[in-house]
Amino acid sequence: MFVDEVEIRLRAGDGGHGCLSFRREKYVPKGGPDGGDGGDGGSVILLCDRNVGDLVDYKFKPHARAQSGESGMGSCCHGKNGSDCILKIPPGTVIYNRESGEFVGELLQHGEQMTLLRGGRGGVGNVHFKSSTNQAPRHTVPGTPGEEGIFRLEMKSIAHIGLVGLPNAGKSTLTNLLTATKRKTGPYPFTTLHPKVGTMIFSESNGAITIADIPGLIDGAHRNRGLGCRFLRHIERCAVIAFMIDLSPCDGRSPVEDFRTLHSELAHYNESLLQRNCLIIGNKTDIPGSEDCLAALQKGVGNYAIFPISCQTGEGIAALTDYFVQMSGKNFKAAQGVE
């Protein structure tokens, strides 16, 4: 199960109460106040962890609470502070307040933290209220409650390139060729059911490009046809959008119409995606008749760069990877903005 959006109810720990206490020791007559302070409540902290793949843990456990602080004790003993509640989330997660819809923040880098809810402050014991005129104070301050709230976590993959295409265009096959991922492939629609990010290593100095493979789009996806288009959030951070087009002349499909369908669906979802660097990858050039489809595509799509390839034979793969590497040396950075 792949989960990229959840709602969770969180609460920080309450502060411990201050203690009302007086010294009771042998040979110490009329002992004064010695009530200690309460401990602070634990906070709720979000931790960005690249080893976390999605938000499935919080679908089945949507409640979390930090530990409350202990109350103060006699002999001026301070109560123990409550432990923080640390929730690990994948890079690219955006946090919203569910009640107000307000954007709270996002975590992008491994190890990055955000204190989402702060724990309550510990109370004050009666030892702090002693004076020459008040030698037996019976006043304390209780601890304050911790913050609480309901939040929506929305995962958006962080990748350089987003592959967009109709079902069976060859997105997963290309991802398997360029990266170490092992995506499921098959001669039937919708073999890809959830997004996956793969990493293409192109130099010994750890030069790398990340590629997001998302499920296939069909005409009317913005109206919830097929698998819908909600998964397009996983290419919102991509600097490059690659349209994967099937060039095989089967079933009477037109590569130009396929491109227009994809272009329309992205425009319905978020027109800013079309303002990114876009290119077209024409797949299945090994199939007879693909030459005519490629010519029609080149004539009908305008000024888009087109890279004809065959995932089956490897034709054109080197030119495509060289283009990706060339872009990485210029301004190839993942878009980090949020709408």
25 or 143, which is more confident: 143
pLDDT confidence bin for 338, thresholds 50/70/90: very low
Percent of the chain with pLDDT over 90: 46
Dihedral pair phi/psi, residue 326, rounded to 5°: -60, -40
Q: Report the sign of the C-alpha dihedral through residues 208, 190, 319, 296, in that order.
A: negative
Render pLDDT for 275-320 as a digit per residue (tens, 0 to 9): 888 899 999 898 888 898 989 998 888 788 899 999 888 899 999 9
Of residues 235 and 17, more confidence is placed in 17
Is residue 339 very low, low, confident or very high in pLDDT (cuts 50, 70, 90)?
A: very low
Report whether 31 contacts 57 (CB < 8 A). no
pLDDT of 188 reads 56
Homologous superfamily in CATH for domain 1-155? GTP1/OBG domain (2.70.210.12)
The type of residue at 79 is G
pLDDT attached to residue 7: 95
pLDDT > 80? residue 253: no
Q: Could you read off the pLDDT of 2-38 as tens digits, one per residue?
A: 888 999 999 999 999 999 999 888 877 778 899 999 9
Domain borders along the chain are 1-155, 161-328
pLDDT grade, residue 201 (50/70/90)? confident
- What count of other Cβ atoms lies within 10 Å of the Cβ of residue 153? 23
* CB of 255 closer than 8 Å to CB of 293: yes
pLDDT at 203: 67
Say what the pLDDT of residue 145 is. Answer: 96
pLDDT at 327 over 80: no
pLDDT at residue 70 above 90? yes
Q: What is the rounded distance in angstroms from the CA atom of residue 296 to the CA atom of residue 80?
A: 73
Q: Distance from CA of residue 242 to its chain's centroid?
A: 21
Q: Which pair of structure tokens corresponds to residue 204?
A: 């010994």
Is residue 45 very low, low, confident or very high in pLDDT (cuts 50, 70, 90)? Answer: very high
Query: Are 12 and 83 contacting, i.e. CB atoms less than 8 angstroms apart?
Result: no
* Ranges 146-150, 167-171, 232-236, 309-313, most confident: 146-150
Which pLDDT belongs to residue 159?
Answer: 84
Distance of CA 205 to the CA centre of its chain: 27
pLDDT higher than threshold 60 for residue 334: no
Over residues 141-156, the mean pLDDT reads: 95
Asked whether 133 and 209 are in contact (CB, 8 A), the reply is: no
pLDDT digits (tens, 9 = 90+) for 156-172: 888 888 899 898 888 88
User: Which pLDDT score is estimated for 138?
Assistant: 92
Place 204 in a pLDDT band, splitting at 50, 70 and 90. low
* d(C-alpha 61, C-alpha 3), whole Å: 13
What are phi and psi for residue 88, nearest 5 degrees?
Answer: -90, 130
Which of the 8 DSSP states describes residue 203?
S
Residue with tokens 């004809």: 308
- Cβ atoms within 10 Å, residue 99: 10
Q: Give the whole-angstrom CA distance, residue 270 versus residue 232.
A: 9
CATH number, span 161-328 = 3.40.50.300
Rounded CA separation 275/240 (Å): 10
